[in-house]
A and B are shown apart, each in its own frame.
Chain A
Amino acid sequence: MDALLALALGDTLTRLVFFPAAACLPLLFFRREAFRAVKVYALAVSLVELALGAGYVWTHAGGGFARLAGDGAYRWIPSYGARYELAMDGISMPLVVLTVLLLPIVLLASFRGIDRHWRSFAASFLLLTTGVLGTLLAADVLLFYVFWEVMLVPMYLLIGIWGGERRIYAAVKFFLFTMAGSLLMLVAILWMGWTYHGAAGAWSFAYRDLLRLDLPPHAQLWLFAAFALAFAIKVPIFPFHTWLPDAHVEAPTGGSVILAGILLKLGTYGFLRFALPLFPRAAAAARPLLVSLALVGILYGALVAWVQVDMKKLVAYSSIAHLGFVMLGLFAFDLVAWQGALLQMVNHGLSTGALFLCVGMLYDRRHTKLFAEFGGLAKVMPLFAFFLVFATLASVGLPALNGFAGEFLILAGSYRTLGWPAAVATFGIVLAAIYLLKLLQLTLWGPITKDANRTLKDLSAREIWTLVPLCVLMLWIGVVPETFLKPSRAALDGVLTAYQQRMAAPVASAPALLRPAATEAAARVPEGSPR
């Protein structure tokens, strides 16, 4: 009992993950219509959560986040060896920080747009945060799966209840797509636990243990396919992407920001954390396919984004292109590209998050997101214009803003190992300029054509405060990316080294356990970075 209390109240990942969920309970005691009080409460909770996250990272920065470390393991389902274990390293840390940072921002951004069921709205966001953080921090694969599914429900509600006109279609599509992918992943997870039992004589779903499981290539291939499908749908990779534009268009602003900013990253995070290290041979075999799909995503997403008539859809398709860069970086199997890919996951959360916030601000004012309804807004909303231009430029990959740092490293690294596909992907930056400058052209520039736009109010202080933190981070990452590259370098290097070692080792003919020494070496802290 004491241990449980310590876990819940100490400076632990458990507290970080479950605080938002626990903070939902007091919501029951608010009156239904007390929107104002609920807003203030939810915002306060989110700020506390931000402080908890920042505090945890701050106090644990000493270890350099080189390997997974956290609260320790606790028995969960002893008969099957499933454990409750949360742990963080340099791969999950940036995404955890991004999550707790975006939470107060989306709540603040929703103050005006959301006008019903505020208690449930706040609860959905808080539960979603618990789900996301749990997914990022779970060090037991079964636990990971539980959090992965937990995440779905609040998002489904956010789209289905507070969404636009076709919200039910979009919510169901989102739910079914994601569910379909993850069920196969569950089968694969169970199979792995069972195989581990066969090889080691005891059940385990611990990430650390399953990493030691050396499987024959054909088994790896099936398992990889099951994991990859779940993650590919989440990213989303062409051709599993069609749920995304619908979900974005119908989701409320806050939902879109979290969806694009965080949930999509869980797909790429899944590849990096699970699909690549657990099934190295299969990942290597699937590389041509996934690199091709990444290229298709980059070019296809960009071209389709260009012809959209709805602002939000344009941004949604742009996400497909941006995540294509991340996928390319991951399947380059190169440390430079991986650093870029991880950075780009954060970058996309910031810049696309800011773009969705901007679209939401227009929607709050005009209740439409169609380009045809806008134009010339820079005249009446200069501050808005500044922020929209800023976020667009970050998204376009302008040097000295965040997007460039990520894309440059991804492409430079991919070119080292992949060659010409990286050059093809680089052409994506031309297309990005085409569709993103169209966004500016059709909203901000030119004469004002609609009378309704002549009297639009510029941003309020609240709206400015949702954008300022994002813009500060975009500039910071762009100018001094080192701050953000350094904490994840050792962890990424560990995963890559382990991958290379396993590829160099002889092929397993039957499921076997690798000697612990091999995994220890994999998790070793590399000595200072080479110049």
Chain B
Amino acid sequence: MHLLWLIPLLPILGTAMLGAIGALGAIGRRPPKALVTLIGLGAPGLSLALALACLARYAAIYPRPYEQTLYAWTAGPLHLDVAFLLDPLSAVMLFVVTFVGFLIHVYSVGYMGHEEGYRRYFAYLNLFMGAMLLLILGANYLVTFVGWEGVGLCSYLLIGFYYDQDFPPYAGKKAFIVNRVGDFAFLVGMFALVARYGTLRYLDVFPRLAADPGPALAPYALGLTFAGFVALCFFVGAMGKSAQIPLYVWLPDAMAGPTPVSALIHAATMVTAGVYMVARSNAIYQLAPGVSGFVAAIGALTAIFAATIGLAQNDIKKVLAYSTVSQLGYMFLAAGLGAYTASIFHLMTHAFFKALLFLGSGSVIHAMGGEQDMRRMGGLKRALPVTYWTFVVGALAIAGIPPLAGFFSKDAILAAAAGGGQWLLYLVGLVTAGLTAFYMFRAVFLTFHGEFRGSDDERHHLHESPPVMTLPLVVLAAGAVAAGWLGIPAVLSFGARLDRFDRFLEPTLWTIAGHPRAVHEMGAGTELGLIALSVAVAVAGILLARRLYDRPSDGLTGPQEDAAIAARFPGLYRTLANKYYVDELYDRAIVRPLARLSGFLWKWIDGFVVDGSVNGSASLADLLGGFGSLTTTGNVRNYALYFFLGVLGLFWWIALS
């Protein structure tokens, strides 16, 4: 376990090596592709092996946390460690990130094999792994923040991977800037902690909060308590990284990056960092019930809002992107309700099935020669059987059909809402579940069922992806089926304690002195009824999608069906298809006024007021100098007069004083 620090370092070294062979390539020959693959796959592979070894060792000391300090920064009284922490929460994250990450690296060998920027791609992807591992293994907010911004950088670089086109770099820039808004709040939260506690170390801050919550409950700023203020700051940070309203706008555009990137960064790992952070900071959120309620409300709102947009998207990756935003909303709903373990549970199952779905869509896009519009697909299940079946598994999992993974984790969240008596939030979650099942199966049917609607060229090009791509699909599909079995609720296991996941994470939840954690018990009958209801809603969503898009009784194809719906509800459909015009709103309300203000400052304040007075005083000096030079006549009699006046003046002055 003492090699924990190597886990994030290895992929970073991979990036450095890939960069170095690239630099050599710039001088001489291009580096051989096999070498790039070896490093690009080897670094995260070793990292995965080491992570598994560390986890195996960690089992021996569970549930105690293991902390490892490398070195420190010291500035005056502030002492910040570069240190790593392995505890149950980071253990779960470590497994998810290294395992799913490695699979996606493997998949990328096939997907990116023909790309010109193969080496650059792996350099960025390895760097991402390193930064993500720093984020989850950091033993204090600072190290986590280093990873936090590091993954943001990799996201920027990978979204803009196709840098010689117009849109991808623009989307990357948007992602970075929107994330920075969140990071700003994250930083302020850290400053507040530093000012109050003089440390950012998790195992310093949380025990102190838990033992003596009093000072953190005193009024602080913005009408909040100290805990509330910090909780709000960190949540705003999470809004950026985890794409919640109102900072979600970057994620759909982020689909401009290569598809494996969307799977790894914009679905399975990076975007869940905000959820991880809230769960990590549960000691703070437990002390901030108001902000926690806000978190739950934003989560629920985001979940249903994004799901409705997902209904009307035709780009397969856009559907998945909005679905990700929506599922992240679920996770925040759980975290806001205090069900931190449920949120991490859903994070983990989501990592499997969403990575699976994205990689499946990548396989489709690969077969279609880059086409992402589902209206031009159809009937692909014959040509891509493995992709089809694994994609369906992923769709069933996200729809919450038992006994797949999504069923258990989504149920845990809905149970938390119902158990807490938050029936409105429960209802939103339930409706979202139905919408999710519907739009996911709309995508399944539009893509894989019916007749092929693309060109003949595309039809001839259709092929199942190579094993290097389908194998990760199969492994992830297995995860999407089975990951949920780690957290089977008591009511379904006839009393056997099979909710292992909850119990595993239990030690990372802080018990605040004087603030017992609420435990919500429901009658078994109610709980079973609710489970049946959510399954019924999911099935109804699937059946509706099937009715509309698979066997159109009226002889219409899927896209024609969409057109018919659009014709029936033109305003609603256009609003959804245009994502509620939020991008346009931000552009008009924020970006353009800011640009106008900046232009004004430059042209008027700098150019007119400041420089005007500078140049004005120069002109004034010129003018005065002009008058002054009139006295320099060269005539001796004039000078004698000045002299005489001067002497008179002096006498007068002396006489007066």
Could you list which residues of chain A lie within 8 angstroms of chain B, going by C-beta atoms?
Answer: 173, 176-177, 239, 241-243, 245, 300, 303-304, 306-308, 334-336, 338-340, 376, 378-379, 382-383, 393, 398-400, 404-405, 408-409, 411-413, 415-416, 420, 422-423, 426-427, 429-430, 433-434, 437-438, 440-441, 444-448, 458, 480-482, 485-486, 489, 492-493, 529-531
B611 at the interface (CB under 8 A from A): yes
Contact yes or no, A411 B606, CB < 8 A: no
B582 at the interface (CB under 8 A from A): no
Instruction: Give the dominant DSSP class at A's interface.
Output: helix
Q: Which 9 A-B pairs have the closest CB atoms?
A: A335-B76, A445-B169, A415-B191, A399-B146, A303-B598, A339-B75, A433-B180, A336-B76, A307-B598
At the interface with chain A, which of B158-166, B443-451, B527-535? B158-166
B118 at the interface (CB under 8 A from A): no
Contact yes or no, A482 B190, CB < 8 A: no
Contact yes or no, B598 A447, CB < 8 A: no
With a cutoff of 8 Å between Cβ atoms, the chain A residues found around residue B192 in the complex are 415
B496 at the interface (CB under 8 A from A): no
With a cutoff of 8 Å between Cβ atoms, the chain A residues found around residue B173 in the complex are 437-438, 440-441
Q: A434 and B177 in contact (CB under 8 A), knowing A335-B75, A480-B71, A531-B79?
A: yes
With a cutoff of 8 Å between Cβ atoms, the chain A residues found around residue B35 in the complex are none
Instruction: Give the dominant DSSP class at B's interface.
Output: helix
* Interface residue range, chain B: 35 or more
Contact yes or no, B150 A399, CB < 8 A: yes
Contact yes or no, B71 A482, CB < 8 A: yes
Contact yes or no, B169 A411, CB < 8 A: no
Complex CA distance for A221 and B192, rounded to whole angstroms:
33
At the interface with chain A, which of B181-189, B395-403, B468-476? B181-189
Contact yes or no, B153 A393, CB < 8 A: yes
Contact yes or no, A441 B610, CB < 8 A: no
Complex CA distance for A378 and B161, rounded to whole angstroms:
11
Can you name 6 A-B residue pairings with CB atoms under 8 Å?
A242-B606, A422-B191, A430-B181, A437-B156, A445-B163, A482-B71
Contact yes or no, B73 A420, CB < 8 A: no
Distance (whole angstroms) from the CB of A444 to the closest CB of chain B: 7
For A416, give its contact among B149, B195, B609 (CB under 8 Å). B195
Contact yes or no, A458 B26, CB < 8 A: yes
Contact yes or no, B163 A378, CB < 8 A: yes
For B146, give its contact among A308, A400, A411, A440 (CB under 8 Å). A400
With a cutoff of 8 Å between Cβ atoms, the chain B residues found around residue A334 in the complex are 76
Q: A303-B597, A441-B169 are in contact. List 15 more A-B contacts (CB 8 A).
A: A304-B598, A304-B601, A307-B598, A339-B76, A393-B153, A399-B145, A430-B181, A433-B176, A438-B173, A445-B163, A481-B73, A485-B74, A486-B74, A489-B74, A530-B77
Contact with A along B64-81 (1 / 0, CB 8 A): 000000011111111100
What is the number of contacts between chain A and chain B, taking CB atoms within 8 Å?
A: 155
Distance (whole angstroms) from the CB of A25 to the closest CB of chain B: 37
Contact yes or no, A413 B75, CB < 8 A: yes
Contact with A along B122-146 (1 / 0, CB 8 A): 0000000000000000000010011
Contact yes or no, B188 A423, CB < 8 A: yes
Complex CA distance for A444 and B195, rounded to whole angstroms:
40
With a cutoff of 8 Å between Cβ atoms, the chain B residues found around residue A446 in the complex are 163-166, 169
CB contacts under 8 Å to A, within B589-647, are 594-595, 597-599, 601-602, 605-606, 609-611, 614, 618
B194 at the interface (CB under 8 A from A): yes
Interface centre among B191, B221, B597, B609, by most chain A C-beta atoms within 10 angstroms, is: B191
Complex CA distance for A398 and B598, rounded to whole angstroms:
24
- Measured CB to CB, the nearest residue on chain A to B120 is A382
For A429, give its contact among B183, B598, B611 (CB under 8 Å). B183
Distance (whole angstroms) from the CB of A18 to the closest CB of chain B: 35
Complex CA distance for A482 and B79, rounded to whole angstroms:
10
Q: A426 and B191 in contact (CB under 8 A), knowing A413-B75, A433-B177?
A: yes
Interface centre among B74, B148, B181, by most chain A C-beta atoms within 10 angstroms, is: B74
Contact yes or no, B164 A447, CB < 8 A: yes
- Measured CB to CB, the nearest residue on chain A to B613 is A239
Contact yes or no, B598 A399, CB < 8 A: no
For B26, give its contact among A382, A415, A437 (CB under 8 Å). A382
Complex CA distance for A415 and B145, rounded to whole angstroms:
18
